[in-house]
Chains A and B, each alone.
Chain A
């Protein structure tokens, strides 16, 4: 069946449907797909944002460790704890994330720093009255559990900024908790002085 063709349609029909790109785009597509998959599979501690947070935290944690190592008398400890508390309260950098899954980590000095705090904690917590000690252990366990929960969720939603922020905060909380408890428990140790 013939109809007078509208010349516009003829011209439109002659337009090529497929056009050639200036170069082969496939390698870049493939690379980006591979990168996506990699990110989803990269363990948390190896992901870039996490390492940056960890690096920042190292600085704060080292100063916390130094504080414990250097202190002498209990009184000095209390004074230091007060000063440290007011420093820690500055809303600045996140403190060091803590590793909960026990694998290779965020770096040797971070691992050592946290291990030191934790070892200190294990000793000092003995000094707290039993009821208080039980509350602290429960709360530290809660913080650690939260970190595990957030890490696991991050594995599903790797680039979620909310999850990233909350995880760093939680790790920070753990370090602060360990150091606070350590300093306060130390001051109840001997019983003669605070």
Chain B
């Protein structure tokens, strides 16, 4: 089993049991705000993780989280349970990020190292309290991620961090699967360089 799918399993196993989600979603659909708050508590961390790494700016990312949940509430009737609720939230979040970027006319490609100031701020105090999260390596990784050009960064975050498949990522970002694979390849190559990791033997 290759490590990509290990990563995705790890990502997915952090999700709460889908059964409890289904019950909460049902209640929320009927207007139960407390059930929806519970869903928020369960999923907001991962939505922020996605938004922050895609947008690199904390304020924008937190805005994105809010908009994602507000939109999710509005569209609960449209959630059919075919995917996991968390995945559905992520789709909405990606949409928010992309729309927001379009509206702000953002076409910034990633900055070369060292990371920009606001990126540093964005990644201060991140983490979930685990030892790995606090390590300097993680800081470097977050910075390296943040320094990637937008296209590759989005793909790497969705695929390599959150474990979505090429097809899922392509669909969420509105790009072709081929482009997605190329962006991923490029992203990983750049990460290696910037983290000082040796190149893979081909």
Contact = CB atoms under 8 A, between A and B. Distances in A.
* A contacts B directly (C-beta below 8 A): yes
Given A18-B49, A26-B40, A29-B40, A9 B192 contact: no
Contact of B4 (A1, A9, A10): A9
A16 B126 contact: yes
Contact of B44 (A13, A21, A32, A33): A21
A17 B66 contact: no
B73 A9 contact: no
Contacts of B145: 15
Given A3-B2, A6-B3, A15-B138, A30 B48 contact: no
Interface residues of A, number: 29
Contacts of A135: none
B91 interface: no
B141 A15 contact: yes
A91 to B, nearest CB: 32
Contacts of B192: 8
A8 B125 contact: no
Contacts of A30: 33, 37
Size band of the B side of the interface?
A: 35 or more
B113 interface: no
Interface in B25-46: 33, 37, 40-41, 44-46
A8 B49 contact: no
Which residue, B7, B14, B130, has most C-beta atoms of chain A within 10 A?
Answer: B7
B93 to A, nearest CB: 12
Contact of B69 (A6, A13, A17, A29): A29
Contacts of B195: 8, 11
Contacts of B133: 14-16
B130 A13 contact: no
Nearest to A36: B74
A36 B31 CA distance: 13
A19 interface: yes
Contacts of A15: 133, 138, 141-142, 145, 161
A61 to B, nearest CB: 38
Contacts of B128: 16, 18-20
Contact of A9 (B7, B52, B70, B162): B7
A55 to B, nearest CB: 30
Contacts of A29: 40, 66, 69-70, 73
Interface in A154-186: none
Interface of B: 1-4, 6-7, 10-11, 14, 33, 37, 40-41, 44-46, 48-49, 52, 58, 62, 65-66, 69-70, 73-74, 125-128, 130, 132-133, 135, 137-138, 141-142, 145, 160-162, 188, 191-192, 195, 197-198, 200
30 contacts: A1-B1, A5-B3, A7-B197, A7-B198, A8-B188, A8-B197, A12-B161, A13-B7, A13-B10, A14-B135, A14-B141, A15-B142, A15-B145, A15-B161, A16-B127, A16-B130, A16-B132, A16-B133, A17-B45, A17-B49, A18-B48, A19-B52, A19-B128, A20-B126, A20-B128, A21-B44, A21-B48, A21-B62, A22-B62, A29-B70
Interface of A: 1, 3, 5-23, 25-26, 28-30, 32-33, 36
